[in-house]
Amino acid sequence: MVERSQVEELLSRHLSELTEFAGFEALVSGQGSREDYEGFLVNLVRTHLRSPQVLAFLYSLAPPEAAANLAHNMLEELGIEEESGIAHPSLLRELAKGAGLGDRLAELEVAAQESLRQIISEPILYGTLKEVGLATLVEVVAFEFMLSRVASRIARALARHLRLSSSTLEWFTHHSEVDIRHAGQGIDNVLSYVRYYGFSDEDALTICGMALRENVFIKRYFGEKALARTGGAGA
Amino acid sequence: MRLASATVYALEIPLVEPFRHSARARSLCDSVVVRVRDEEGTEGFGEGVPRPYVTGETPDSVLEHLGRLWSCIAGRDLPELDGIDTLRAIESWLPTVPLPGALADHASRSALETAVLDCLLQRHEVSLGRLLPPVRQRVAYSGVITAGSLETALEHARRMKLVGLAQVKVKVGFEDDVARVHAVRETLGPSVSLRLDANGAWTMERAVEVTEATAGCDIASVEQPLPRGPVEELARLRRAVRVPLMADESLVTLEDADALIDAKAVDCFNVRVSKCGGLSRSLRIAARAAAAGIGLQVGSQVGETAILSAAGRHLAAHLPEVAFVEGSYGTLLLTEDVSAEGIHFGHRGEAPVLTGPGLGIRVLEDRLRKYAREVLELGPGGAS
């Protein structure tokens, strides 16, 4: 049976690659240029702007044991669960506007939609939807895991070096360290999914490894070229 | 309509994972892409992948050489669209200019020939499939297991099995070859076709030793067991072993093909568009192989972009008898590809025939610029 520690180890390794990445260190230490910070924010907004759609896909595949949790995540993203009541994409738009990137929002919306269109149009490596779902779930959980551990550091750096207000940075608050419990549930969801759909350990771990074979955090937040500066391979 | 200008892009696209074999390790795509434009601005793209240990070309020598080749065709009228003869016409434009220190200028020729062909086809809004009619609607690609640790090789084998690849090649040429091949076979199971590629790393004795020790692994073929050299050596090895042999580095030119056929040196040719100097020469080598009863693999270059993969896809779909096909890894290997559409294969390694105009892909010029370490503009008279 796939162990929780095996998934955690994979996610932790991925997270370490990010935190040891020079571009990330420059970002949180205030060494980055304004251009670096803006590039990071543009990439971050584009990465997460269509998260509700991705979570809706995962909800549709959720095993009974994980369905409530995935529904909660999706509703939270859509801003119709309790909490702030603000949809997370709206928080991302506020982040972009607050950072002086409001004039790029239309371009980011198009880019985010195009990324989604491309993912859906690309040939699928796997034979069934259950495998596609596991790969997607692992990537989503990886981001939750990472953000729950570094979102506050990033937000503090952005507040300090770009002088962004706490209301502008609210998206980070929703994904920050207080969300560690949430990220832990994400790993539970992966384990439930693997059990429910009857994956062999070998296949499940292989799919997890394939989903994170390159560092998705560095790729999405710092761009594809940044992967060359990390020595190429991720996991 | 005349050819008006060309732009050459020397790319450096990071690979998702480093790729190793006995001759090299690489973590970047170092392709050279050519864009040609006719007087009305219709564009065509081509790609060459210089490999010093195969054709003797380097990215820098290709950049320089392309300037010379371009000056021979700049300002010429695009040929008529006339079936397969169109390909021969374009190929005949490109003079055979010796490239000092190189066996052949094939990466350069591949890039320019393909770009002119794509431009012509785009101009007429016709697919390359019109010139190379497909005999199959889907192409099934093999997986290639890179060298490196045994643990990594087995991880790759598990991935390939999971995505349903029916054919897998494993890079050999190391001390642990025998153990590696046995372990990969065990991981893949008996139904997957397995072949080996030594990239010329073995001696005659080592080749015999490894092939005998892996006789129970049902090896479909061994690619380039010996270094490029006298074809008689390959012929002698072929007589000494029971596994079929395939020529790769030993097969660059048409003369190589003839020599290998005459010597009965191998059972299969690995035809690669860039290595063999473009589609026209690749087709001629394939024709000679077919006439001699030699099997074919349509191979690829590690780290090639969608441009060369698209050319290879058309070739693989067109040739009647193809035993193995490699390539179309796209973003499975590159962190980002240069086309709007994903070129990479899907489940079971399958990918559809490309039907759009030209090569059938839309190349994103801004993507080329993003990854270009050097861009060279060539005007009507050459470099500008």
CB spacing of B347 vs A123 below 8 angstroms: yes
Helix (H) / strand (E) containing B25 = strand B25-29
Helix (H) / strand (E) containing B262 = helix B254-262
Q: Looking at the complex, does the CB of residue B14 fall below 8 Å from at least one CB of chain A? A: yes
Q: Which residues contact B57 (CB under 8 A, 6 or more apart)?
A: B48, B50, B51, B65, B99, B102, B104, B105, B106, B107, B108
Interface predicted TM-score of the whole assembly (ipTM), two decimals: 0.88
CB spacing of A227 vs B14 below 8 angstroms: yes
CB spacing of B16 vs A225 below 8 angstroms: no
The whole-angstrom distance between B2's CA and the closest CA on chain A is 35
Are A186 and A56 a contacting pair, CB within 8 Å?
A: no
Question: What residues does each domain of chain A span?
Answer: 4-226
CATH of domain A4-226: 1.20.910.10
CB spacing of B335 vs A203 below 8 angstroms: no
CA A28 vs. chain centroid, Å, equals 18
Residues of chain A with C-beta less than 8 angstroms from the C-beta of B331: 122
CB atoms within 10 A of CB A178: 12
Q: Looking at the complex, does the CB of residue A127 fall below 8 Å from at least one CB of chain B? A: yes
CB spacing of B344 vs A203 below 8 angstroms: no
CATH class of the domain at B131-352? alpha beta
Alpha helices in B74-190 (DSSP H): 84-93, 106-124, 128-131, 150-162, 177-188
The whole-angstrom distance between A219's CA and the closest CA on chain B is 8
Q: Looking at the complex, does the CB of residue B373 fall below 8 Å from at least one CB of chain A? A: no
State the pTM of this model: 0.93
Q: Where in chain B are all domains bearing CATH 3.30.390.10? A: 3-126+362-383
CB spacing of B17 vs A228 below 8 angstroms: no
CB atoms within 10 A of CB B199: 21
Q: Looking at the complex, does the CB of residue B149 fall below 8 Å from at least one CB of chain A? A: no
**Most A CBs within 10 Å, among B158, B309, B368, to test the A interface:** B158
Which amino acid makes up residue B26? R
Write out chain B's pLDDT in tens, 384 residues.
899 999 999 999 999 887 777 767 778 899 999 999 999 999 999 999 999 888 999 999 999 999 999 999 999 999 999 888 999 999 999 988 888 889 999 999 999 999 999 999 999 999 999 999 999 999 999 999 988 899 999 999 999 999 999 999 999 999 999 999 999 999 999 999 999 999 999 999 999 999 999 999 999 999 999 999 999 999 999 999 999 999 999 999 999 999 999 999 999 999 999 999 999 999 999 999 999 999 999 999 999 999 999 999 999 999 999 999 999 999 999 999 999 999 999 999 999 999 999 999 999 999 999 999 999 999 776 555
Q: Where in chain B are all domains bearing CATH 3.20.20.120? A: 131-352
CB atoms within 10 A of CB B96: 9
- Mapping DSSP to helix (H, G, I), strand (E, B) and coil, where does residue B48 land? strand
CATH fold group of domain B3-126+362-383: Enolase-like; domain 1 (3.30.390)
